[in-house]
Amino acid sequence: MLARLRKNPAAKWLGLALVAAALAVLPFAVEATAGRGWVRIIDFALLYIMLALGLNIVVGFAGLLDLGYIAFYAVGAYMWALLASPHLTANFPAFAAMFPGGLHFPIWTMIPLGAALAAVFGVLLGAPTLRLRGDYLAIVTLGFGEIIRIFLNNLNAPVNITNGPQGITKIDPFSIFGVPFNKPLAVFGLNIPPVTLYYYLFLLLVVAIIFISLRLEDSRIGRAWVAIREDEIAAKAMGINTRNVKLLAFAMGATFGGVAGGLFAGFQGFVSPESFTLLESIMVLSMVVLGGMGHVPGVVLGAVLLATLPEAIRYTVVPAQKFLFDRQVIDPESLRMLLFGLALILVMLYRPAGLWPSQVRKREFAAAEKAGRVEPEQFPDRTDASEGARL
């Protein structure tokens, strides 16, 4: 069915049009059936899709396990928060003198700025870790993520840059062509609430990011990333400049995170270090792994599932417990994390390629299964740091 669709351009365009129409009416249908709270959940799911697709470039395409990815989300969010809130002008007379009307950067400058700044951070993080692979890289990136969070948490004294654990409030809402996003918009007698306006904005960016991801995957760079993932030495031998290509993966992945972070700050109107913990990094990683590393539709599926299912659990578990035990026995938040952990373990044990893997990955895993092994050696490859390791 899918194959036939691919061969028939008319059917393909018709299919795309149907999907577009469905996505366009989705917030109204959700609001009518499940309430406005769920439109907000879908908005967050869209943000998570952006994050997961960004991490997918680093982990899925290039095979570099990054456990500090949320740092780029934080960079984007804090940049937006500082450049579109009264925080800087209130705390630094120099800024107040420079911007007498207050700092209110428009969205057109913010998205490229956030993307660029996150990319710079991506390269800063990537450069010292170029020699590391696998678990070492994971731990170092985790360290970077935590360092950024600790600094955000503590840079309120003696100079108040981030306002510490209280975070930055009163961030400007978005406004495009003079249409503010914090008020309902009336179009042809139809009243569009703010969450739905945000939905369309996020959807637009998600579509752009999906398009970029798909084009990147098939590009020369994308193939270079996959080559590095499969075998870095072989990739080098084929003439790939592994250093630049890996740095590009970090920068590119960070870009999506930075954009998503900026959108998050404007959407919430508030940022604090609380939102950028290691658990968030792990959650985004779970989305990529669960969906299918390196496969764009799979990653989108993983992000949608993990962003919405826990909310559904929250809505069903609490009443169910009240009904069964007359009180709340299990805290829904810890149940959510418990399920995340179990999902990570079970997916790795039983569907290591993810729920919706790409055809290439599926073939690789199937071939490996047939041969009875995945790696040529019986034990994990020991040509790296562990070679110096002796008990």
Distance CA 192, CA 378 (A): 59
248 vs 289 by CB, closer to other proteins: 289
117 vs 285 by CB, closer to other proteins: 285
Distances (CA, A) of 9 to 21, 137, 213, 247: 18, 43, 21, 37
Shortest distance (Å) from residue 152 CB to other proteins: 12
Shortest distance (Å) from residue 151 CB to other proteins: 8
**Which residues in the chain belong to E strands, given as ranges?**
175-176, 179-180, 185-187, 190-192
Shortest distance (Å) from residue 63 CB to other proteins: 8
Cα torsion 51, 52, 57, 61 to 10°: value is 170
17 vs 150 by CB, closer to other proteins: 150
Contact residues for other proteins (CB under 8 A)?
63, 65, 67, 128-129, 131-136, 138-140, 142-144, 146-147, 150-151, 154, 157-159, 232, 278-279, 282, 285, 289, 330-331, 334-335, 337-338, 340-345, 348-349, 352, 373-375, 378-391
CA 160 vs. chain centroid, Å, equals 28
- For residue 305, what is the enclosing H or E element? helix 296-325
24 vs 345 by CB, closer to other proteins: 345
Pair 227, 237: CB distance under 8 Å: no
Residue type, 250: F
Shortest distance (Å) from residue 119 CB to other proteins: 20
For 356, other C-beta atoms within 10 Å of its C-beta total: 18
218 vs 375 by CB, closer to other proteins: 375
123 vs 385 by CB, closer to other proteins: 385
Shortest distance (Å) from residue 244 CB to other proteins: 17
Distances (CA, A) of 135 to 30, 102, 141, 267, 369: 42, 46, 10, 35, 24
Shortest distance (Å) from residue 318 CB to other proteins: 15
